[in-house]
Amino acid sequence: MSKQEETLKKIISHCKEYGFVFQSSEIYDGLSAVYDYGHNGTELRKNIREYWWKAMVQMHDNIVGIDSAIFMHPKVWKASGHVDGFNDPMIDNKDSKKRYRADQLLEDRIAKYEKDGKTDKAAGLQKAMDDALESNDLAALKALIEENEIACPISGTRNWTEVRQFNLMYSTQMGSLAEDADEVYLRPETAQGIFVNFLNVQKTARMKIPFGIAQTGKAFRNEIIARQFIMRMREFEQMEMQFFVRPGTEMEWFTYWKAYRMAWHKNLGIPDAKYRFHEHTKLAHYANAAVDIEYDFPFGFKEVEGIHSRTDFDLKQHQEFSGKKLQYFDPEINQNYVPYVVETSIGLDRMFLLLMFHCLEEETLESENQTDTRTVLRLPAILAPVKLAVFPLVKKDGLPEKAKEIIDMFRFDYTCMYEEKDAIGKRYRRQDAIGTPFCVTVDYDTMENNTVTLRYRDSMEQKRVAIDELSTILADEINWKKVLNFQL
């Protein structure tokens, strides 16, 4: 097993053991690329979502939120281009019967050439693949796979079918009778719910351009190659924002959102070297700029978020397909126009995985006579599923009651957890593994002088503090301001 496979395996088993992520329908042997979140996973997701929402909506006077339905009128997806163009080029291996994305097979080969120092070959293949994808030349993609002698990783043979386009949208029927049922789609992105509500929101929230609409919610894609755990799922959550601007000002806003979104990532304390921008050189026909924010996963730099300048494409398409005007009267220039849009789009589950990779550590602890290890999830305190754990040293003499009193002091502000089972050291380790930044132990001295032992997750430092001091210490560390204070 390669090192990266081993790391991923560790993350998957940690996520299961500590109630972060479970395979969907596990008792029925699971459903491929669909996952459920456990109690700690749900808290962590909620906190990531809240960090995004606060940064986008609460920190910007000119951004408001919506929550649109997953089902939309089928024409929405015709207008957006998803019915005709939301495809992946697929190829099957006739021996293993496994299906692959043709472009991913080629990308893996490019990465191999690069790793082997064959940079000219890598660049040549990249260009040939980009040209074939742009001109939708499926035969050329197949030829590249053959010329580069790419074999199926399962069967090891090069017995390939033709490359075919495969639409990624799920469809279902709306209506009770099959004959008169309408085909509807499960949305493959949340953005279209924002576009079709553009005027509703602009008018009711009395927004003036430039302004944004934010939304978080589920999206569904029939991903053929679902790999790397929650990196590529069939049901996932997006956090998207469409920023409506006056035509001609979009590049200024694109630059702003690029910097702001990168700052959002780095404010979590993740070092600069772990992130990079990947500028798109080949742009979709409707975009005039696009960049990905990539994180250095163990399997290489991969996209976590996209920032796209989408011109007036989407609103114009919906105008044409619905027959309704989607325009804005700009009083500053006395003109009606269809606004341009700069979009930011991040996958919540992918961000979750990023944090797991970045924060989970097997730490070796050296002491005078022995070497020990601990598993610690060094999540930013504000995102941790549990912020404060309180333990009575023993289960008697009023210590449990005192510990519960402390929980009751803090449960209004933080997710707290009470634990009385096992030795204190074991309890600390369990909290380390789920990322709890602070543990408090109540002992016999507490009953005398109202002091407790406060233990810090990262340094494992233990301090004797008065119960009265706790609220200031915690508020100083678990604080939205710390991460929302953007310096662009």
Say if residues 304 and 294 touch (Cβ distance below 8 Å). Answer: yes
Using the minimum distance from each CB to ligand GAP, give the nearer residue, 239 or 417.
Answer: 239
Q: Give the number of other Cβ atoms within 10 Å of residue 17's Cβ.
A: 11
Question: Judged by CB under 6 A, does residue 344 bind ligand GAP?
Answer: no
Is residue 210 reached through a cis peptide bond, with omega within 30 degrees of 0 on the bond before it?
Answer: yes
The Cβ-side half-sphere exposure at 299, using a 13 Å CA radius, reads 17
Q: Which stretch binds ligand GAP (CB under 6 A): 1-9, 257-265, 268-276, 298-306?
A: 298-306
Phi, psi of 167 (to 5 degrees): -75, 140
Using the minimum distance from each CB to ligand GAP, give the nearer residue, 44 or 403.
Answer: 44
Using the minimum distance from each CB to ligand GAP, give the nearer residue, 284 or 433.
Answer: 284
Question: Judged by CB under 6 A, does residue 305 bind ligand GAP?
Answer: yes
**Smallest gap from residue 4 Cβ to ligand GAP (A):** 18
Question: Judged by CB under 6 A, does residue 314 bind ligand GAP?
Answer: no
**Smallest gap from residue 353 Cβ to ligand GAP (A):** 9
Of all residues in the shown chain, the one whose CB is closest to ligand GAP is 347
Question: Judged by CB under 6 A, does residue 330 bind ligand GAP?
Answer: no
With CA atoms as reference, report the closest residue to 270 among 250, 293, 251: 293
Using the minimum distance from each CB to ligand GAP, give the nearer residue, 297 or 428.
Answer: 297
- Hey, what are 163's tokens? 């490359």
Q: Which stretch binds ligand GAP (CB under 6 A): 103-111, 157-165, 302-310, 397-405?
A: 302-310
Question: Judged by CB under 6 A, does residue 350 bind ligand GAP?
Answer: yes
Report the distance separating Cα 60 and Cα 210, nearest Å: 11
- Hey, what are 42's tokens? 């749900």
Positive or negative, the Cα torsion across 59, 60, 66, 72? negative
- Hey, what are 148's tokens? 């580069």
Give the torsion through C-alpha atoms of 106, 107, 109, 113, to 10 deg.
130
Question: Judged by CB under 6 A, does residue 239 bind ligand GAP?
Answer: no
Question: Judged by CB under 6 A, does residue 400 bind ligand GAP?
Answer: no
**Smallest gap from residue 149 Cβ to ligand GAP (A):** 29
Question: Judged by CB under 6 A, does residue 43 bind ligand GAP?
Answer: no
Question: Judged by CB under 6 A, does residue 240 bind ligand GAP?
Answer: yes
Question: Judged by CB under 6 A, does residue 311 bind ligand GAP?
Answer: no
**Smallest gap from residue 292 Cβ to ligand GAP (A):** 7
Q: Which stretch binds ligand GAP (CB under 6 A): 116-124, 301-309, 362-370, 479-487?
A: 301-309
Of 346, 439, 440, 470, the one binding ligand GAP by CB under 6 A: 346
Interface map 196-225 toward ligand GAP (x if CB under 6 A): -------------------------x-x--
Pairing of strands 340-347, 300-309: antiparallel
DSSP assignment string, 49-76: HHHHHIIIIIT-TTEEE----SB--HHH
# of chain residues touching ligand GAP (CB under 6 A): 19
Q: Which stretch binds ligand GAP (CB under 6 A): 57-65, 88-96, 342-350, 373-381?
A: 342-350
Question: Judged by CB under 6 A, does residue 352 bind ligand GAP?
Answer: no
**Smallest gap from residue 367 Cβ to ligand GAP (A):** 42
Q: Which stretch binds ligand GAP (CB under 6 A): 66-74, 341-349, 415-423, 426-434?
A: 341-349
Report the distance separating Cα 305 and Cα 260, nearest Å: 12
Using the minimum distance from each CB to ligand GAP, give the nearer residue, 232 or 455.
Answer: 232
Question: Judged by CB under 6 A, does residue 103 bind ligand GAP?
Answer: no
**Smallest gap from residue 295 Cβ to ligand GAP (A):** 10
Positive or negative, the Cα torsion across 399, 403, 406, 412? negative
Long-range contacts of 314-320, Cβ-Cβ distance < 8 Å, separation of 24 or more: 314/79, 314/80, 314/191, 314/192, 314/195, 314/286, 314/341, 315/195, 315/198, 315/339, 315/341, 317/79, 317/80, 317/81, 318/76, 318/79, 318/80, 318/195, 318/196, 320/79
Report the distance separating Cα 227 and Cα 224, nearest Å: 9
Site for ligand GAP in 254-293 (CB under 6 A): none
Question: Judged by CB under 6 A, does residue 303 bind ligand GAP?
Answer: yes
Give the torsion through C-alpha atoms of 14, 18, 20, 23, to 10 deg.
70
Pairing of strands 451-456, 462-466: antiparallel
Of 193, 347, 380, 392, the one binding ligand GAP by CB under 6 A: 347
Q: In angstroms, how far is the first alpha carbon of the chain from the final one?
A: 42
Report the distance separating Cα 100 and Cα 299, nearest Å: 18
Of 80, 215, 345, 453, the one binding ligand GAP by CB under 6 A: 345
Say if residues 158 and 151 touch (Cβ distance below 8 Å). Answer: yes
Using the minimum distance from each CB to ligand GAP, give the nearer residue, 150 or 348.
Answer: 348
Per residue in 280-301, is it b (16+ CB within 10 Å) or e — as a string? Answer: eeeeeebbebbbbbbbbbebee
Of 191, 341, 379, 390, the one binding ligand GAP by CB under 6 A: 191
User: Position of tokens 């099957």?
Assistant: 92
Planar angle of CA 184, 66, 220, nearest 5 degrees: 35
Of 80, 228, 238, 453, the one binding ligand GAP by CB under 6 A: 238
Which residues sit at the interface with ligand GAP, rule CB under 6 A? 189, 191, 221, 223, 232-233, 236, 238, 240, 303-306, 343, 345-347, 349-350
